[in-house]
Structure 1
Amino acid sequence: MKRRRVTLSLKNTVLWNPSTDLDNGLYAFKPEALGFLKALVQHHEVYLVIQVNNNEEQQQIQHLLQQNHLQGFDERKILFCQKEQGKIHLVRHLEAQIHIEGGWEQDDGEEIVRQLKPFVPKIIWVQKHQRQVALGASVESVQNVTDTSFSKDLLSQ
């Protein structure tokens, strides 16, 4: 069975940062989301796309991912970028069937979702403060990545 290609923007979906200081991220896994990520890696071809503000933040996130051994995950599929356009380019280039977006510290990802919508069949948009934005049936908007039917199906496998 061919595994679906899923791109996952890590910030605000699986990782969270309680700090408001962009230069000093204190990233950690959301407790409920680590199980989701592990199941996702087991059942799909997953690429992690992470928009970072600096090299220190990239190193911290890499270390966090290494500490939480994702069995079967190819570390070459961890992709970093510094700008939203870089994230959009990566997701489009990978031709994901599903993209999970959470934005980053300064933005909830709405523009990324809008630009990817014509190219990605299914987008799950995780918003901290959910608001009603009409983007069509291919975009599912939730406050927590584990609240989607996709997640519930995945975790029951």
Structure 2
Amino acid sequence: MADLSKTDLFQLVKRIGAFLSTKISKIFDTQDFRSVWAIAGFAVAVIFTWRALRTPNGPRRRQPNSQPPPPSTSVLSNHPNENLLSSEDLRAENAIDESFQPANRTLAQIVRQRLSDGRKVTCRLLGVILEENTPEELQNQATVKSSVLEVLMEITKHFDLYLMERVLDDESQNKVLTALEDAGIFTSGGLVKDKVLFCSTENGRMSFVRQLESDWHIDSNPEITSQLARFIRHQLHISAKTEQKIASNVYSCSSLEQFFAF
């Protein structure tokens, strides 16, 4: 009945009025006063119904907005759904962001953030994990850098890590595996001896990286890093010297642990 137009309502009330007039005249002729009160009550009900339909506070259909309201310029960010956030959500989001500022981040968080764009990591041993810098030195000894252990452990927890190096003989290979084992690298649960690869040439090491299709490669040889720049998404070049940037997808740092420093 709320969908009737004003004209229809007027005609309806007019017809009801005519009906009431006829009935009332008959009632007075018959002097049936009980019917008079019944009709009077009915008339009052009709009047209240009419007023309810005409009141501006009555139910109305919701009209769609012709144009969405402009977004507030006081709350802007890179998130597409930001305007849907309540003030409480914004406060919670800010609290989370503040908790990940450099002063509050843990080493595990930094490692995951720096290497987040990928899952598989390959890394050479000489000059990065080991104190030694040449295959000739490995014939005498192999020493794991104590400063790199914590970072290396975190990488093995969250990423698929492969270590590799060029060696001159089997004895050098055994020395490297023993040094890694004594440092506790194989007890962290993320790295096994089968993921430590050895080869006899630098091209063999580069072939390992390409075959594994790593997302990140860490190396200290600028020539290898330069050649792999076309095939590997990200690289970290370890060098104590300040060198010209090798490629846009290659980062440079003095050491592996420095790259993940707080």
Counterpart of 2:257 (choices 131, 146, 154) is 146
Question: Which residue type is aligned with residue 94 of structure 1?
Answer: L
Offset from partner CA, 1:72-103 (integer Å, 9 cap, x none): 1222111101111000000000000000002x
Higher alpha-carbon Rg: 2
- Check whether the contact 1:18–1:27 (CA below 8 A) recurs between aligned residues: no
Question: Which residue type is aligned with residue 222 of structure 2?
Answer: E
Cα distance, 1:55–1:130 mapped onto 2, change above 3 Å:
same
SS for the counterpart of 1:15 is coil
Question: Which residue type is aligned with residue 57 of structure 1?
Answer: S
Distance in 1 (alpha carbons) for counterparts of 2:133 and 2:247 = 31
Q: Please report how far the alpha carbon of residue 66 of structure 1 lies from its aligned counterpart in structure 2 after TM superposition.
A: 1.8
Within 5 Å, give how 1:108-147 maps onto structure 2.
Answer: 109-127=221-239, 129-147=240-258
**Could you tell me which residue of structure 2 aligns to residue 105 of structure 1?**
none
Q: More deviation in 9-18 or 55-64? A: 9-18
Taking structure 1 as the reference length, the TM-score comes to 0.82
Question: Which residue type is aligned with residue 113 of structure 1?
Answer: T
Cα distance, 1:132–1:44 mapped onto 2, change above 3 Å:
same
**Could you tell me which residue of structure 1 aligns to residue 219 of structure 2?**
101
Taking structure 2 as the reference length, the TM-score comes to 0.51
Count of residues in Structure 1 that have an aligned counterpart in Structure 2? 144
Distance in 2 (alpha carbons) for counterparts of 1:130 and 1:47 = 26
Larger RCO (alpha carbons 8 Å, 6+ apart): 1
Offset from partner CA, 1:35-70 (integer Å, 9 cap, x none): 111111111000111111222111100111122232
Within 5 Å, give how 1:52-91 maps onto structure 2.
Answer: 52-70=167-185, 71-72=188-189, 73-91=191-209
More helix by share: 2
Distance in 1 (alpha carbons) for counterparts of 2:241 and 2:153 = 25
Task: Work out whether 1:9 is the aligned partner of 2:124.
Answer: yes
- Check whether the contact 2:124–2:163 (CA below 8 A) recurs between aligned residues: yes
Question: Which residue type is aligned with residue 177 of structure 2?
Answer: Q
Give the aligned CA root-mean-square deviation in angstroms: 2.4
Which runs of no fewer than 5 residues in structure 1 stay unpaired?
103-108
Distance in 2 (alpha carbons) for counterparts of 1:9 and 1:23 = 14
Cα distance, 1:110–1:20 mapped onto 2, change above 3 Å:
closer
SS for the counterpart of 1:29 is coil
Which runs of no fewer than 5 residues in structure 2 stay unpaired?
1-116
Counterpart of 2:155 (choices 40, 63, 66) is 40
**Could you tell me which residue of structure 1 aligns to residue 145 of structure 2?**
30
